[in-house]
A and B are shown apart, each in its own frame.
Chain A
């Protein structure tokens, strides 16, 4: 468990570094094409600033993107009681509760560390699950908090989201606006031509690469959180039957998108909910998770 925590802290650091590298690479590309190295500096500084913000505020950004609203204990004692109970079981401070007003059942946790953690559930989750199932889900999220998964996963959401956004914008500007202002390729010879070709590939590849890290991070993490969640409630069946209900629910969660899908307990993008594990799924198949829980 402590190894997992240390690995997560290291990975967060690594992710920040990787992010600066990708953005600076893009900046270099733009600088080269526009023949103005101001852009390289601009991208580099921007990358560092975005990193800082991602570290400080990624949780609020994600909560805002998901239209989550904070709830007080008096407004929802049921949810708070469950959260408080499991916080005691995990031996961490009680996280704040947020609610997304959506009938699709789902949940995620975010925050920088266990002291400033947030657990966010949808109204659908509260309506469709019974107490034991809800406890299973909250225990899963509590394990993400305890293992420091939350900071890393939230930073991935913000940073990868930024890369995807940026490369979209760059791609468009190459296709539409690049023609006139780019330096004349012919003066640079065929080597430059190759470089530009590589550059364009890189811009296309960047988001793909970014998504790939995201995919790689989530699966083992989900199994681990399931297992430690079951350790907290001492009742794996609660989480198993909750996962079953959430997966079988066909309502889409409107506020979830490509940047945040990996945060949720079950992938909220229904078309990404795979029956088999494949390279591009952010979550292991729910069948596999349920099978492992039931065999505990």
Chain B
């Protein structure tokens, strides 16, 4: 009888050690993947002033676009939590989109070497942001799953592990457009 209890205790302790280490590994991966997004977002924010200057040289009177880009950027600088950063990021993405839409109307700007370079760089960063977000969300999912499945859910919180927030893409895009039949 005593043996059985001893074996049981050993099994439980081994399980807990394994669980703890797995959760630490997953948490570190999630932290690291969040850092990846941050790096890319910062790179994009750093690109903005340069881009605005270049476009201004050709389309100085499109003031509204510049304002919204600058505003989105400063909101990004202020954001601290995952949610705030996600929101500011979506704003900046939208603002940059309209900036490039404006640029479409200026053939000389589109031929500018500097502008083309910035455009490639920005396209690259956009891609990397998307991939970093994907990696972050995947890591978050495995981290959260590891905490919330049974029997890990009995211990995870006591060990000091908490579920993470997903990095959401712009909600507005997913909203169903309202159709008005009355008129």
Which residues of A come within 8 Å of B, CB atoms? 77-78, 80-82, 84-86, 88-91, 131, 135, 232, 234
- Whether B135 pairs with A91 at a CB distance below 8 angstroms is yes
Tell me, in angstroms, the Cα distance from A91 to B137 when the chains sit together: 12
- Whether A88 pairs with B121 at a CB distance below 8 angstroms is no
Name the A residues within 8 Å of B134 (CB-CB).
89, 234
Name the B residues within 8 Å of A90 (CB-CB).
135
Name the A residues within 8 Å of B131 (CB-CB).
85-86, 88-89, 232
Name the B residues within 8 Å of A84 (CB-CB).
124, 128
- Whether B128 pairs with A91 at a CB distance below 8 angstroms is no
A187 CB to closest chain B CB (Å) equals: 67
Q: Could you tell me how many residues of chain B have their Cβ less than 8 Å away from some Cβ of chain A?
A: 18
A167 CB to closest chain B CB (Å) equals: 46
**Taking the complex as formed, is B36 at the interface, i.e. its CB lies under 8 A from any CB of chain A?**
yes
- Whether B33 pairs with A81 at a CB distance below 8 angstroms is no
Name the A residues within 8 Å of B49 (CB-CB).
none
Tell me, in angstroms, the Cα distance from A191 to B131 when the chains sit together: 66
- Whether A89 pairs with B124 at a CB distance below 8 angstroms is no
**Taking the complex as formed, is B75 at the interface, i.e. its CB lies under 8 A from any CB of chain A?**
no
Q: Output the residue of B127, B131, B132, B135 with the most chain A CB within 10 A.
A: B131
Apart from A81-B124, A81-B125: 4 A-B pairs, beta carbons within 8 A: A78-B124, A85-B128, A85-B130, A88-B132
What are the interface flags for B125-168 relative to A under an 8 Å C-beta threshold, 1 for contact and 0 otherwise? 10110111011000100000000000000000000000000000
Tell me, in angstroms, the Cα distance from A234 to B130 when the chains sit together: 11
- Whether B124 pairs with A91 at a CB distance below 8 angstroms is no
**Taking the complex as formed, is B123 at the interface, i.e. its CB lies under 8 A from any CB of chain A?**
yes
Interface SS of chain B: helix
**Taking the complex as formed, is B29 at the interface, i.e. its CB lies under 8 A from any CB of chain A?**
yes
| 28 residue pairs A–B, Cβ–Cβ below 8 Å | A77-B117, A77-B120, A77-B124, A78-B120, A80-B124, A81-B120, A81-B123, A81-B124, A81-B127, A82-B127, A84-B124, A84-B128, A85-B124, A85-B127, A85-B128, A85-B131, A88-B36, A88-B40, A88-B128, A88-B131, A89-B132, A89-B134, A90-B135, A91-B33, A91-B135, A91-B139, A232-B131, A234-B134
Number of A-B contacts (CB under 8 A): 43
CB within 8 Å of A: which B97-114 residues: none
- Whether A88 pairs with B135 at a CB distance below 8 angstroms is yes
- Whether B135 pairs with A89 at a CB distance below 8 angstroms is yes
A88 CB to closest chain B CB (Å) equals: 5
Q: Output the residue of B40, B121, B127 with the most chain A CB within 10 A.
A: B127
Partner of A81, one of B128, B135, B139: B128
B6 CB to closest chain A CB (Å) equals: 32
Indicate whether A81 sits within 8 Å of B121 (C-beta atoms), given known contacts A88-B128, A91-B135. yes
B44 CB to closest chain A CB (Å) equals: 12
Name the A residues within 8 Å of B36 (CB-CB).
88
Tell me, in angstroms, the Cα distance from A89 to B129 when the chains sit together: 9
Tell me, in angstroms, the Cα distance from A86 to B134 when the chains sit together: 11
What are the interface flags for B1-33 relative to A under an 8 Å C-beta threshold, 1 for contact and 0 otherwise? 000000000000000000000000000010001
Name the B residues within 8 Å of A82 (CB-CB).
124, 127
